[in-house]
Structure 1
Amino acid sequence: MRSKIMLGFAVCAGLFLCGQNVQASRAQGTDLSRYQGYTAVKGQASDEFAISQIGGINSGGIYTQATYQSQVATGIAQGLRMHTYIWYQVGSDIFKAKQCMDYFLPRIQTPKNSIVALDYEDGASCDQSANTDAIIYGMRRIKQSGYTPIYYSYKPYTLLHVDYKRILAEFPNSLWIAAYKDYSVTTTPDYAYFPSMDGVAQWQFTSCYRAGGLDGNVDLTGITDSGYKNGNPEKPETHTPAVDAGIKADNTPKRDISVGYTVKVNYSASRWTTGQYIPSFIKGNSYKVIQVSGNKVLLDGVMSWINKSDVEILQATAPVQSNNSSYYTVRYGDTLGGIAYRYGTTWQNLQALNGLSNPNWVYPGQRLKVTVNGYAQRAYTVRRGDTLSGISARLGVSVGHLVQVNRIGNPNRIYIGQRLVY
C-alpha cells in the first residue's frame, strides 16, 4: 500500500491482541500494485497469498492498473491464493463510491468469495459518520457481487475518520490493518506490535518484507482461504480468464515449454547452459522464451540459454489482457496531466506517444493513445552518474525488470541519454 505507518503508531496501537485468535491461520503473503510489475512476486518462498490492486478512484477519477490481471494469472501459477484490492479515495461521497463499484466489480479477476478490499487511507472528510456510510456502501456492494469485503487502513487514521465498530457490526472480522515495528527488513510478524483492535482479520506488519521494499501481511483468521477450496489455489470456487491462465501454466509440464511462454528463473538455478554463473539479479524474475532447443530455452532480454529444469512456467499462453482501453477520448475539462495520472503514466510519455507538439493542446473528442500493447508506457532517461541499481531503486522496480523490458545485454553498460522503459 502507499501509506507508511510510523513506529509510534504501532506502539500506541497496543501490545496485545484483543478478542482475536491469531493461531487461526498465520499464513503470510504480499500485496501488489503496478510497482511490482506484471508478474506476481513473493516476499518469502513460503508465501501463500497475494492481494493485487485492480485500480481505484482518487481526486482525478477512476484509474486502472495494467498489471492486475497478469499478476493474478502469474500468482496462481506460483501457487498463491490471489485476491483484489481497490484504492478507495471517496471520502464521504456516495456518488464516487457508486462510480467506483460500478466500474470495478464487473472487472474482478479473482474467484467469487475471494477478498475484495477497500483501501481507505486518504481523502477522508471531517464527517466520520458519512465516511463510514461510504465505506459500508462499498462493502455491501462487494458482498452483493459475491466477494468477501474487507476494509484496509491503519489504526490512527481509522480511529480519527471512521466508526469501525459500525463496520464490524455488519461485517465481523473484516479489518485489514497496517502497523509497522520499524523499517528494517522483517520476514515474520512481531506480535508485540500488533495493532490491538477488534475484528482484525489480517495485519500488514511491514513495508520491508524483503530488501528493496515489499509489504508483508499475515492472515490471522483464515480469510485468505476465501474463494479457494481448502485453501488450494488450483481449486478456486469459480473461474476467471486470469485464474484459468494461471492454472494452465501451473499444470503445464516443463518439457512442453514453447516460444512465447513466460518463465521465472528459479532461485536454485546456478549456471547458464554455457557454464557461466547466473547473476543473482536474474533469479526470481520473469522472461519471455524466444527460442527452444531440446531441454534448454533462450530468454529474451538477457539473451542467455537456460535448462528447462531451472525455470518455472508463469504463463503458458499470451498474457491476459488488461481491461484498459488502448485509446482515450478527451472530454471537456481534461488535461494531458490528468489523463496520464489516470493511466499510471506521465504527460511527457503521452505527448511522445501521440506526437503532440504542445501538451496543452488537447480538445474534447480527440482520441489519444494511452497504452502500448495494452500497458501504460513509462520511461526514464539516464543521467550522468546513474547506475541501473540506483535507477531501479528510484523507480521502485527490480534491476531484472529493467534488463528484461529494455533488452539490456550487459547491466553495467548504460549511457547518458538512454531511454529506459519501466
Structure 2
Amino acid sequence: MNKNKLKAPILTVGAIFMAFLMVNVTSQASTSRDQGVDWSKFQSNSGVFGYKTDKFVFSQAGGFYGGTNIPQTTYNSQVKSAQQAGKRVHTYLWDGVGGNMNNAKAMMAYYLPRIRTPKGSIVALDYEDGASNSVSANTDVILAQMKLIKDAGYTPMLYSGKAYLNAHVNTSTIVRAYGSCLWLAEYPDYLVRTKPNYNWFPSMNGVAIFQFTSTYKAGGLDGNVDLTGITKSGYTTASKKRAQANVKKAKKARAAKNASFKVVKYNQRGVFYPNQALAVRYTDSDKVRQVATYYKGESVTYNAVIIEHDYVWARYLRSNGLYGFIKLGVTNGQAYGKRVTGQPASHMYYTVKSGDSWWTIAQRNGLSMTTLASQNGKTIYTTIYPGQRLVVR
C-alpha cells in the first residue's frame, strides 16, 4: 500500500476529546487486538512476518491500475505460505477505478473468481488513489463492489487513510450498509513501532482495523491491529469444523473409490420372483438391499461382480441367453443416478397397433397384463396408443 499518501499531519488533541477517544478505542479493541501484517509483491513469494505473535495476513491479489486489471504473481504463493504458517489469511485489491462503475464491475468480475482465501474471509478494497471529483459516484462504486464481494461469499472491507476518505467518499453511507468495515491507516512517523499508538487512532465511525505503522520492524513492513475480531471472519470454529468435515468426507470418498470390495455371497442360481429383495453382504459394510424385478420363473445366474463409482454391479445371464448388469447396492454415500458398466440388458419390443390392449399384447407374449404393464413402468389402467413401443421380454 502507498504509505506516502497516508502519512498523517501532527495534530493537537484536547484532553477531554482524547479521553473520550481512548474509551471508544478500548471498547472496540477489547474484542481482539490481534496484530498482523499486509503483503504485496514487495514481500516476496512467501511473505514476511513482523513477529511470531502475528495472527493474520492480508495478501494483495492485484488491482486496477491505469485502466486495466494487473494481478500480482506473488498472491497464490503468499496465501499458501500464510496458511502453512497457521495464520488467518485475507485478500486485498488495489481499487483504482475512481467513480467508473463499468470498470468497477469489470474489476470484480476479474478478481473474485481468483480469490484463494476461504469463503467468509475478508476481501478489502484499497481505495487511496484515482478518485473522481464526484463523492456520490465514488461512494456508489464502492458500495457496488462491496455488494459483489458479499454476494460472492466474502467479507467486504474498505482500506484508505482518513483524510482521503473524508475528501472523496461518503463513509457514513458505507458504514450504515456494512457496519464496522473500515481499515484505516494513521501514523505520525516512520520509526519502528511494534505496538499501536492510539494517540494516532483515526477517530471515525466504523473502524475495524487500525494500520498503525509502515515500519513494523527495521526495513519496513505494515503493522495492523484488529479492533473488532473481523480478521476471524472465515476462520471461526464453525468454519474450521466444516473444513475438517469436508477433508474427512473427501478422504472417505477416495478410500471408498480405491477400496477392493470382496463380496462374500454373489454366485446365486435359482428361480426368482417379481419384487424379491436380493441381499448382498460385504466385508466392509453390513448389508445392502436392492429390490429388483425378475420375470416369473426365469433362471438367473450371477457370475461377476464389478465395483464402480460407489456402486456394486452384478453381471447376470438370463435363461433366454440375454445378459446385462444390475445395481445390487450402494457402498458409500448417496446414489447419484444409475451408472451402467458393460452391455445393458437387451429387450424385445412390441409396437402397439390399432385395436391392441394390455390383455391382447400380454396374451400374445405369454405374460400377465400386470407383468407387462409393470415392466414398462405403467399400470393396466394406463392408456396405450398405436405406435407406442412396449418391452415384452
TM range (shorter): 0.5 to 0.7
The residue identity in structure 2 corresponding to 1:211 is A
For residues 241 and 110 of structure 2, the distance between their equivalents in structure 1, rounded to whole angstroms, comes to 24
- SS of residue paired to 1:221: coil
The residue identity in structure 2 corresponding to 1:141 is L
- Point out where structure 1 has 5 or more consecutive residues left out of the alignment: 245-422
The residue identity in structure 1 corresponding to 2:81 is T
- SS of residue paired to 2:28: coil
Q: 1:81·1:231 contact (CA, 8 Å) conserved in 2?
A: no
Q: Which residue of 1 aligns with 2:7?
A: 6
Q: CA deviation at 1:6?
A: 2.1
Identity of aligned residues (%): 48
The residue identity in structure 2 corresponding to 1:44 is Y
1:129 has 2:130 as partner: no
1:31 has 2:38 as partner: yes
For residues 37 and 12 of structure 2, the distance between their equivalents in structure 1, rounded to whole angstroms, comes to 23
1:206 has 2:213 as partner: yes
For residues 84 and 90 of structure 2, the distance between their equivalents in structure 1, rounded to whole angstroms, comes to 14
Which of 183, 186, 193 is the matching residue for 2:190? 183
Q: CA deviation at 1:60?
A: 3.8
Alignment CA distance shift 1:171-1:10 (3 Å): farther
Q: 1:112·1:238 contact (CA, 8 Å) conserved in 2?
A: no
Alignment CA distance shift 1:12-1:72 (3 Å): farther
1:75 has 2:82 as partner: yes
Question: 1:79-129 CA distances to partner (integer Å, 9 max, x unpaired)?
Answer: 110000000011100001001000000110000000000000000011001
- SS of residue paired to 1:133: helix
Which of 135, 138, 145 is the matching residue for 1:138? 145
For residues 190 and 28 of structure 1, the distance between their equivalents in structure 2, rounded to whole angstroms, comes to 13
Q: 1:90·1:123 contact (CA, 8 Å) conserved in 2?
A: yes
Alignment CA distance shift 1:11-1:147 (3 Å): farther
The 5 A counterparts of 1:257-276 are none
- SS of residue paired to 1:166: helix
Q: CA deviation at 1:7?
A: 3.8
1:216 has 2:217 as partner: no
The residue identity in structure 2 corresponding to 1:147 is Y
Q: 1:154·1:177 contact (CA, 8 Å) conserved in 2?
A: yes
Q: 2:67·2:97 contact (CA, 8 Å) conserved in 1?
A: no
Q: CA deviation at 1:182?
A: 1.3
Q: CA deviation at 1:11?
A: 6.2
Q: CA deviation at 1:12?
A: 7.6
The residue identity in structure 1 corresponding to 2:9 is G
For residues 143 and 237 of structure 1, the distance between their equivalents in structure 2, rounded to whole angstroms, comes to 20
1:43 has 2:50 as partner: yes
The residue identity in structure 2 corresponding to 1:225 is K
- The one of the two structures with greater contact order (alpha-carbon pairs below 8 A, sep at least 6) is 1
For residues 90 and 12 of structure 2, the distance between their equivalents in structure 1, rounded to whole angstroms, comes to 29
For residues 146 and 180 of structure 1, the distance between their equivalents in structure 2, rounded to whole angstroms, comes to 32
- Point out where structure 2 has 5 or more consecutive residues left out of the alignment: 248-393
The residue identity in structure 2 corresponding to 1:38 is N
The residue identity in structure 1 corresponding to 2:72 is Q
Q: Which residue of 1 aligns with 2:121?
A: 114
Which of 78, 87, 91 is the matching residue for 1:84? 91
The residue identity in structure 2 corresponding to 1:35 is F
- SS of residue paired to 1:72: helix
Q: CA deviation at 1:175?
A: 0.3
Which of 63, 70, 73 is the matching residue for 1:63? 70
For residues 188 and 154 of structure 2, the distance between their equivalents in structure 1, rounded to whole angstroms, comes to 31
Q: CA deviation at 1:166?
A: 0.3
The residue identity in structure 2 corresponding to 1:215 is D
For residues 131 and 153 of structure 1, the distance between their equivalents in structure 2, rounded to whole angstroms, comes to 13
Q: CA deviation at 1:58?
A: 1.7
- SS of residue paired to 1:42: coil
TM-score (norm 1): 0.54
Q: Which residue of 2 aligns with 1:271?
A: none
Q: CA deviation at 1:237?
A: 5.5
Q: CA deviation at 1:43?
A: 0.7
Q: 2:64·2:107 contact (CA, 8 Å) conserved in 1?
A: yes
Q: Which residue of 2 aligns with 1:373?
A: none
Q: Look at both structures and tell me which one has the larger radius of gyration over its CA atoms.
A: 2
Alignment CA distance shift 1:55-1:10 (3 Å): farther
Alignment CA distance shift 1:225-1:9 (3 Å): farther
The residue identity in structure 2 corresponding to 1:6 is K
- SS of residue paired to 1:106: helix
The 5 A counterparts of 1:309-388 are none
Q: CA RMSD in A?
A: 2.2
Q: CA deviation at 1:151?
A: 0.3
